[in-house]
Amino acid sequence: MSGTDAITRASVTRELARLGVIADGDAPAPEAVDGRPWFVALLLGAAGWLAGLFAMFFVWMLLEPDTTAAMVVIGVALLTGAFGLYVIERANPFFAQLALAFSIAGQISLVVAAIGETDSAAATSGLAALMQLVLLYALPNRFAKALAAFFFCIAWALTLRFAWWGEPELAGGIVVVAPLPALVGWVVVWAPIVVAVEVAIASEARWMATRARTIVRPALAGLLVGLSFAPWVSEPLATLRFWFRDEAYANWLAVWPLLAAAAALFAVVAAFRLRERALVGVGIVGAGLHVLQFYYVLGVSLLAKSVMMVAVGAALLVAARLLEGRTSLASGRPS
């Protein structure tokens, strides 16, 4: 992005030494071990996830836990194993993958235990959100922390969604939500995450200077991925109901994907401010998927959706034009 690739660790270190920010004779910083490109992280994450599912079924079939307590013991044991593996060898990819698989298997076991104990989707989601916060703090691995932040977004959104409007049903049980509660609901769910991202970026230099960077950096990445994709899951099953053609009811939760597309665009801009190209791409893909979801979600007619899209498009183009005008004014060139 704008020639920053040409700036190397050595040149920055030299310049810092020249300015007297660091001592000239300081040993050079070691190369960052965990600087994986997004596609390597995706490959490892997907494989680790799948391995975690197989490991989970293996453990369940082997031990046949039939009580909540047994499931909790399995979940805690697997998560403890994951923690231990991460601590023992942080740079070894085999142990890291094994730890990820243990972690996924442990997390799902604990969620299953929560379902069995509470029999409530809202409570289960709430407990899952709490668990992700604990994992974000405790797991000594950047990738695991980023995943925890992402899953926190999903669990947080589901908690409020289920607590406010009840649990989803694929057939029947149509939810009817007026425009204002739908808007307020969305803001309550996603505004705290938007604010958290904004605060983290604004105070980046402060936390980079402390050990908090080991938590905030991966959390920020996870929250940006969350803003890009997690709203998909915050209206579970709705996208799958497109074969129900009865649009006689009005459910303004149907506009959530449009708002989610806006959140994804915010994530794009935030990622650009951090010069994280991969997250810029993630946000753009997320925004596109939300528009696709907006097409399928029922509750508002396609004609109304069409009008909304045209109005949003016109507003965005006007905003772009105004911004161009300001840019031209600032640079002293005609627009």
Partner 1 sequence: MNRTELDALAAHHRLSPQAVETMLAIARARPDAAELRRFVGKLLRLAGALSLAAGLVFFVAANWSTLAVACRFALVEGAFAVAIGVALWRPPPHALGRHALLVAFVAAGALLALFGQTYQTGADVYELFLTWTLLGLPIVLAAQWSVAWAAWVLVLNVSLLLFCGFRPEAGLFWLVVSGFGLDLPVLLVAAMLVDVLLWGATLVVARSKWSHVAPRWLRRFVLAAAVAFGTWAGLVAIAESRDASDGLVVLIVLGALAAIAAHTLRERVDVFPLAAVAGSVIVLSSTAIARYASLDDLGTLFTLAGWLIVSSAVSGHLLMKAVRGWRNEEART
Which positions from 126 through 145 interact with partner 1, judged by CB under 8 A? Answer: 142
CB of 198 to partner 1, least distance (A): 14
Q: According to the binding rule CB under 8 A, does residue 241 interact with partner 1?
A: no
CA distance 29 to 36: 18
Which of 52, 150, 166 is CA-nearest to residue 110? 52
Q: According to the binding rule CB under 8 A, does residue 12 interact with partner 1?
A: yes
Count of Cβ atoms closer than 10 Å to residue 283 Cβ: 27
Q: According to the binding rule CB under 8 A, does residue 248 interact with partner 1?
A: no
| Terminal Cα distance for the chain, rounded | 24
Instruction: Evaluate whether 266 touches 194 at the Cβ level (below 8 Å).
Output: yes
Q: According to the binding rule CB under 8 A, does residue 97 interact with partner 1?
A: yes
Count of Cβ atoms closer than 10 Å to residue 187 Cβ: 12
Of 144-173, binders to partner 1 (CB under 8 A) are none
Among 225, 268, 297, 298, indicate the residue that binds partner 1 (CB under 8 A). 268
C-beta of 43 vs 134, nearer to partner 1: 43
Q: According to the binding rule CB under 8 A, does residue 61 interact with partner 1?
A: yes
**Number of amino acids touching partner 1 (CB under 8 A):** 90
C-beta of 94 vs 180, nearer to partner 1: 94
Among 36, 117, 138, 241, indicate the residue that binds partner 1 (CB under 8 A). 36
CB of 316 to partner 1, least distance (A): 3
Amino acid residing at 325: G
Instruction: Evaluate whether 149 touches 229 at the Cβ level (below 8 Å).
Output: no
Q: Which residues of 74-110 are buried (b: 16+ CB within 10 A; e: fewer)?
A: bbebbbebbbebbeeeeeeeebbbbbbbbbbbbbbbb
CB of 6 to partner 1, least distance (A): 9
Q: According to the binding rule CB under 8 A, does residue 32 interact with partner 1?
A: yes
Q: According to the binding rule CB under 8 A, does residue 209 interact with partner 1?
A: yes
Phi-psi region of 333 (alpha: psi -120 to 50; beta: other; left: phi over 0): beta
Q: According to the binding rule CB under 8 A, does residue 48 interact with partner 1?
A: yes
Q: According to the binding rule CB under 8 A, does residue 235 interact with partner 1?
A: no
Which of 254, 237, 330 is CA-nearest to residue 291? 254
Q: According to the binding rule CB under 8 A, does residue 90 interact with partner 1?
A: no
Q: According to the binding rule CB under 8 A, does residue 199 interact with partner 1?
A: no
The two most distant CA atoms of the chain are separated, in Å, by 74
Q: How far is CA 80 from the centre of its chain?
A: 24
Q: According to the binding rule CB under 8 A, does residue 88 interact with partner 1?
A: no
Q: According to the binding rule CB under 8 A, does residue 35 interact with partner 1?
A: yes
